[in-house]
Homo-oligomer: A and B are copies of this chain.
Amino acid sequence: MSSSLTARERVRAELTREITDVARRQLAVEGASGLSLRAVAREMGMASSAIYRYFPSRDDLLTALIIHSYNAVGEAVEKADAAVPPEDHGGRWMAVCHAVRDWALAHPHEYALLYGSPVPGYRAPQDTVAAAVRDTVVYGRIVSDAHRAGALNPPGTTPPPLPPSFHEDAARVRELMPGVPDDAVVRGLVAWTGLFGWVSFELFGQFDNVILDRAAAFDHAMRRQARTLGLPA
């Protein structure tokens, strides 16, 4: 076992994992601004300076947590999508919506870290993007599948004309949803941002004292978004 891994490398990997685990627990309780390297070190019974052997700065530790969280929500979305018959595109969309919301409600501070204000100086190194798009990849596949199956019906009204510059932007988005025409791309973007806009409003307090049956309202709103997208739900 553990071929070509020295004892030192093994304990280093183990300690790195333990640090992120402790940090993740602190993040879940206190939020990003309450995450403290010294507190992590204290809980692990080691000197605070020793942490810097594993993470060169607090921001690097935060970045690790961000990547972890992106993967967590991405995995939740992947599982939710896989549990629905592939040809039921509307059901897959709803499953993704609920997966995002459920994960956000279960991990509010982590959701805030991903989709709220960028906390520290400023970040988003290149390492994060691969993990960051995992959920979007799933979503793009749903839209693409629906279009290929001819299930992506635009709403009855004639759409406003597309700005000429959007064609290039749509081409970049199309890498995630192959074959989908420009007009469906913009509808896809509107629905996707609408999902996160709703979840953020709910999580960040904008619905307080207004919307009380959050689950029901969310479910209905996302069914409406499905119509915008062109899916029956």
Contacts and interface: CB of A to CB of B under 8 A. Distances in A.
Interface of A: 31-33, 109, 112-113, 115-120, 124, 129, 155-157, 159-160, 162-163, 165-166, 168-169, 172-173, 186-187, 189-190, 193-198, 200-201, 204-206, 208-213, 216-217, 219-221, 223-225, 227-228, 233
Contacts of A223: 160
A208 B132 CA distance: 12
Contacts of A159: 224, 227
Contact of A205 (B124, B169, B193): B124
Contacts of A115: 200, 204, 206
11 contacts: A32-B117, A117-B117, A155-B155, A160-B227, A168-B212, A169-B210, A169-B211, A186-B220, A186-B221, A193-B201, A197-B200
How many of these chains are in the complex? Answer: 2
Main secondary structure of the interface of A (DSSP, over half): helix
Contacts of A201: 193, 196
B113 A186 contact: no
A4 B230 CA distance: 64
A193 B198 contact: yes
A109 B118 CA distance: 9
Contact of A197 (B160, B186, B198, B209): B198
